[in-house]
Amino acid sequence: MLAVLGVLLVLCAAGACASLALGSEPIAASAVWDVLAHRLRLSPGPDPTVDLIVVELRAPRAAQALVVGAGLGVAGTAVQALVRNPLADPYLLGVSSGASVGATAVITTGALAALGTWALSAGALLGALAATALVFGIASAQGGLTPLRLVLTGVVMSSAFSSVASFLVMRSDDRGAQSVLFWLLGSLSGTTWAQVWLPAVAVVATTALLLASSWIDALTTGEDGARAVGVPVDGLRRALFVLSSALVGVLVAVSGSIGFVGLVLPHLGRLVVGARHRVLLPVAALGGAAFLIWVDVLSRVVVRPVELPLSVVTGLVGAPVFLLLLGRRRYSYGSAV
C-alpha cells in the first residue's frame, strides 16, 4: 500500500507542477520555480505578471483540482458501500441534479446576485441540500434507506431535477444556456483561494469520519451479516447518506458535475489494494486527485486557447478504462474475481 500511495503522491505533485506551467499561455519551469522560491521567502516573484498568473490564477485552480478529485474518489467509495453496488457513482443519489437546478436558476434568473462571485456556488449548494433532504425524506417515508430504494429514489429525483433545469435553460438566452452547459460539464475556471478552503475542509472531515468507522466493511457484506456482528445498519446507512451527499453537494457547488472520477477510481483502487475501506479510501482519494489534476491540465492544452469542460476529458479517458476493467474482470461488490 505504501508504494501505491507513494506513486500517487508523485503523480499529484507532477500534475500540480504541470498545472502551474501549462495553460493558454505556457510558462517556463524556471520562471515558475522563481515565483515559488520568492513566495516561500514571503516576497513577490521577479516578474509581476508571471507571479500573478502562477500564484493567483493557476495555483488555486491546481489546489481545487486536487481537492475535488480526492473528494470524488472518497464520495464514490462511500456511495458504492452505501448501496452495495460497484456501478454507483457520487451523483447517483440526485445531489448533482439538485445542484444543477440551483446553479441554473442563478445563471438564468440572476438570483442571489447580491452574493457576487459566490452566487453560483451558493445556488448550487442550496440545490444540493434541497435534493438531499427530498431524497432522504422520500426514501425514509417509503420504508427506509435500503440500497434499492435509495437508488430508485435517486434516479427518479435526478430525472425530475434535470427536467426543471432544462426548463430553466429553455427560458434563458443563448449566453445563459452556454454558461449553464459549460458549468454542468464541470469546470474549475476562475477558482480563487477563497473557494478552496470549504471543499478542502469537507473532504478532510468526511475522509476522517469514514476512516474512523470500523463498520463499513461489514455493511458491504450484506445486511444480515452486518447485523449479526452488531452493526447498527440503519444508523450507518443514514450517516453514509448524509456524509456522501453533503460532500458531493460541496464539490458540485465549486466545480460542476465531473463524471467518471468517482466511478472509475474506486474500481482501480480495489484491483490494486483490495476492498478494505481503511486501505481503499486513501488510495481512492489520492487516485482521484492525481487523475483530475492531469485531466484539468489536458482540458487547457488540448485545443489551446479554448478550454474544454472537464467531463468531456474524463469521459474520453474514463470510458475506455472502465470498459477495459469490465472486460478483464468479473465484479461482485467488494472484490474483483
Give per-residue pLDDT as tens, 71-86: 999 999 999 888 888 7
- Using 50, 70 and 90 to split pLDDT, how confident is the model at 335? very low
- Cell 472520477 belongs to which residue? 261
User: How far is Cα 232 from Cα 187, in angstroms, rounded to an integer?
Assistant: 39
Nearest in space to 20 (alpha carbons), one of 210, 325, 300: 300
Q: How far is the CA of 229 from the CAs of 114, 185, 217, in angstroms?
A: 52, 43, 11
Lowest mean pLDDT segment, chosen from 51-60, 80-89, 242-251: 80-89
Nearest in space to 90 (alpha carbons), one of 303, 237, 247: 247
Could you tell me if 50 and 31 are in contact, meaning their C-beta atoms sit under 8 angstroms apart? yes
Backbone torsions φ then ψ of 232, nearest 5 degrees: -75, 85
- Using 50, 70 and 90 to split pLDDT, how confident is the model at 337? very low
What value does the mean pLDDT of the chain take?
85
User: How far is Cα 8 from Cα 11, in angstroms, rounded to an integer?
Assistant: 5
- At 305 the pLDDT is 79
* Average of per-residue pLDDT across 292-299: 94
Q: How far is the CA of 299 from the CAs of 183, 293, 313, in angstroms?
A: 14, 10, 7
Strand bridging mode 335-336 / 331-332: antiparallel
Each residue's pLDDT tens digit, 139-163: 888 877 788 888 888 889 999 998 9
Rounded to the nearest 10 degrees, the angle between the axes of helix 277-301 and helix 2-21 is 20
User: How far is Cα 211 from Cα 294, in angstroms, rounded to an integer?
Assistant: 26
Q: Which three cell numbers stand for residue 146?
A: 435500503
User: How far is Cα 10 from Cα 5, in angstroms, rounded to an integer?
Assistant: 9
Beta strands in the chain (DSSP E): 331-332, 335-336
In this structure, what DSSP letter does residue 335 have? Answer: E
User: How far is Cα 209 from Cα 155, in angstroms, rounded to an integer?
Assistant: 27
* Average of per-residue pLDDT across 125-135: 89
User: How far is Cα 267 from Cα 329, in angstroms, rounded to an integer?
Assistant: 10
Integer Rg of the chain from CA: 20
Q: What's the whole-model pTM score?
A: 0.90
Q: How far is the CA of 12 from the CAs of 180, 226, 322, 335, in angstroms?
A: 30, 36, 21, 26
Could you tell me if 93 and 135 are in contact, meaning their C-beta atoms sit under 8 angstroms apart? yes
Lowest mean pLDDT segment, chosen from 35-39, 59-63, 281-285: 35-39
Percent of the chain with pLDDT over 90: 25
Domains and CATH numbers, the chain: 62-336 (1.10.3470.10)
- Cell 471543499 belongs to which residue? 199
Question: Residues 263, 207, 88, CA angle at the centre, nearest 5°?
Answer: 20
In this structure, what DSSP letter does residue 55 have? Answer: I
Percent of the chain with pLDDT over 70: 94
More confident call, 7 vs 174: 7
In this structure, what DSSP letter does residue 115 have? Answer: G
User: How far is Cα 35 from Cα 31, in angstroms, rounded to an integer?
Assistant: 6
